[in-house]
Amino acid sequence: MEKLKQRWNIKSNWAILAIFVVFAINGSFATWVAKPITAFFGISSQTTSPWIFWPLRILLIFPIYQLTLPLVGWFFGQFRFFWAFEKKFLSRLGLGFLFKQN
């Protein structure tokens, strides 16, 4: 736990617990949000080949997860951590220009 606290610049074990809970809840939340979106576009596992359905679903879940992570983190009082996490993660994906200030 001490290594994580140092790496993430976290002071308490409660903050680490909150961060883990946010990651868990947000994963489920992102998949829950993606379901009606795929249904809206008429994409379902019954009507679409699994070779098409699952890659599309995963590609949809990824941006939903990234967008909702700071929001769910805010509910647990960890917005600052997750905002920094998102900026670092998206910068590594080459999307750092989204956070550049003029």
Instruction: Kindly report, residue by residue over 8-66, the tens digit of the pLDDT.
Output: 888 888 999 999 999 999 999 999 999 999 999 888 889 889 999 999 999 999 999 99
Task: Give the pLDDT confidence of 79-94 residue by residue, as tens digits.
Answer: 999 999 988 888 888 8
* pTM to 2 decimal places: 0.80
Q: Are 85 and 69 contacting, i.e. CB atoms less than 8 angstroms apart?
A: yes
CA–CA gap between residue 64 and residue 1 (Å, rounded): 29
Tokens of residue 96, six digits: 């750092």
Please state, in angstroms and as integers, the Cα–Cα distance from residue 80 to each residue in 38, 45, 91, 100, following that order. Answer: 31, 37, 17, 17
